[in-house]
Amino acid sequence: KKKKKNLFSLIPILIYFVLFYLGLLGLNKVMPQNPRAVAESRDLILQCLDDPDVTIRMRALDLIMSMVTEKNLEAIIQRLTDHLYGTDGSYRDHVLEQIIKVCSKEDYEFVRDFAWYVQLLTNMTNLQSMSRRNAELIAENMIDVTLRVPEVRKFAAQQMEILIVNNGLIGDAHNMQSNAICRVLRAAAYIVGEFAELVKDHLTLVKAMLQTRVASLPGDIQGLFVHNALKVLGYGLVKILNDDNEQQATNQPDKSQVCKDLITGSIQLLEPLAGSQHIEVQERATAYIYFLKWLQPALETAAKSERKETAAAFVQVFSSELAPVHAKNQAIAAKKIPAGLSLDDWMGEPWPESEKEDE
């Protein structure tokens, strides 16, 4: 009898879940024909995100995603973000993926404030873990928005600078092989390097990008850190040499000495990376050490005006701006081979067979 009573007591609960699920399913079907009627129930649908039944939460999430407009995007994403931190596992990964996809839909058609979106992506890195797919989506969106929207580049570069310098992700580098969130560092390194003139503190950033714990990151990310640290270093030298406001307080170190210390410190940080097991990291670190050892005496022996010119020439190597190119245009450009260029001919005379055999 007790068992029967317990079973009967579950019936109202089961009916409740079934009706709720069917109601959300019905609203999903009504949405394309009458979105305004569904939008009137937005608050009730948002409450379904806290339901203990994951199937109801998933249906509610699908419905919420279809309700997003330019006007309500930020309010809905704020609610979903608050919900995100109270979830875990595959469901949290699904919610995170939906947030990114709806924001980036149709080239960010719903996003009014791109600084808000960059901040949102940055805040997502505070999650303890996420799928590799979501980490790569965050990285791709960070890079894409920064390239497409010139007005947000300074803010994005400084946010990525904070991400690297504060060591929030690099500090846990020993666990990074199992935590895909480190893929976000790929975007951070690229952005601070591509827009190195916009960061606040070049010296601190270079030290953070070449610290010993970077060696615990995946090889491709290490290579990006080394490559872009050189860009940050170059713009740091330009800033030091061009900053006339720092001029000659009694306790102010000489600019040439500051430049020397920066280059010497960078060489010391690069030397362990020159022995990396990753060939690209090893090659980049070795090449940059050689280059910096040439640059240091060149700056020391040059006259004051020539130092500025030398540093400016250094950053000219990588100062050309990149712009996004539509995939269709890329395909068209790939088919257009310049007149007189043959992709089948040797660029130079081939080596004699005897020399090849000697090697």
Mean pLDDT of 349-354: 72
Judge whether residue 233 has pLDDT over 90.
yes
**How far is residue 267's CA from residue 265's CA, in Å, rounded to a whole number?**
5
Asked whether residue 66 is domain-assigned, the answer is no
Residues 220, 226, 229: CA angle, nearest 5 degrees = 135
8 CB-contact burial (10 Å; exposed 0-12 / middle 13-18 / buried 19+): exposed
Q: Residue 264 in contact with residue 296, Cβ under 8 Å?
A: yes
What is the percentage of the chain residues whose pLDDT exceeds 90? Answer: 41
Tokens of 105: 């839909």
Average pLDDT over the chain reads 81
Asked whether residue 41 is domain-assigned, the answer is no
Tokens of 211: 């610290």
| pLDDT band per the 50, 70, 90 thresholds, residue 1 | very low
Asked whether residue 297 is domain-assigned, the answer is yes
Judge whether residue 227 has pLDDT over 70.
yes
Mean pLDDT of 36-64: 77
| pLDDT band per the 50, 70, 90 thresholds, residue 180 | confident
**What is the per-residue pLDDT for 42?**
73
Higher pLDDT pick, 218 / 155: 155
| pLDDT band per the 50, 70, 90 thresholds, residue 129 | confident
| pLDDT band per the 50, 70, 90 thresholds, residue 54 | confident
Mean pLDDT of 303-325: 78
| pLDDT band per the 50, 70, 90 thresholds, residue 299 | confident
Report the sign of the C-alpha dihedral through residues 73, 76, 81, 82, in that order: positive
Instruction: Calculate helix-pair angle for 132-148, 184-194, nearest 10 degrees.
Output: 20
Higher pLDDT pick, 201 / 179: 201
**What is the per-residue pLDDT for 99?**
95
Judge whether residue 266 has pLDDT over 80.
yes
Higher pLDDT pick, 239 / 342: 239
Higher pLDDT pick, 27 / 311: 311
Residue type at 152 in one-letter notation: V
pTM (2 d.p.): 0.80
**What is the per-residue pLDDT for 253?**
66
Asked whether residue 300 is domain-assigned, the answer is yes
Domain housing 273: 202-319
Asked whether residue 271 is domain-assigned, the answer is yes
Q: Residue 234 in contact with residue 196, Cβ under 8 Å?
A: yes
Asked whether residue 258 is domain-assigned, the answer is yes
Judge whether residue 226 has pLDDT over 90.
yes
Count how many domains the chain has: 1
**What is the per-residue pLDDT for 27?**
63
Lowest mean pLDDT among 56-70, 153-167, 188-202, 343-357: 343-357
CA distances to 62, 129, 219, 233 from 216, rounded to whole Å, are: 39, 17, 9, 22
Asked whether residue 272 is domain-assigned, the answer is yes
**What is the per-residue pLDDT for 85?**
81
**What is the per-residue pLDDT for 201?**
92
Which range of 27-41, 77-91, 192-206 scores highest in mean pLDDT? It is: 192-206
Judge whether residue 96 has pLDDT over 60.
yes
Judge whether residue 171 has pLDDT over 60.
no
The label of the residue with tokens 């960061």 reads 199
Judge whether residue 304 has pLDDT over 90.
no
Asked whether residue 268 is domain-assigned, the answer is yes
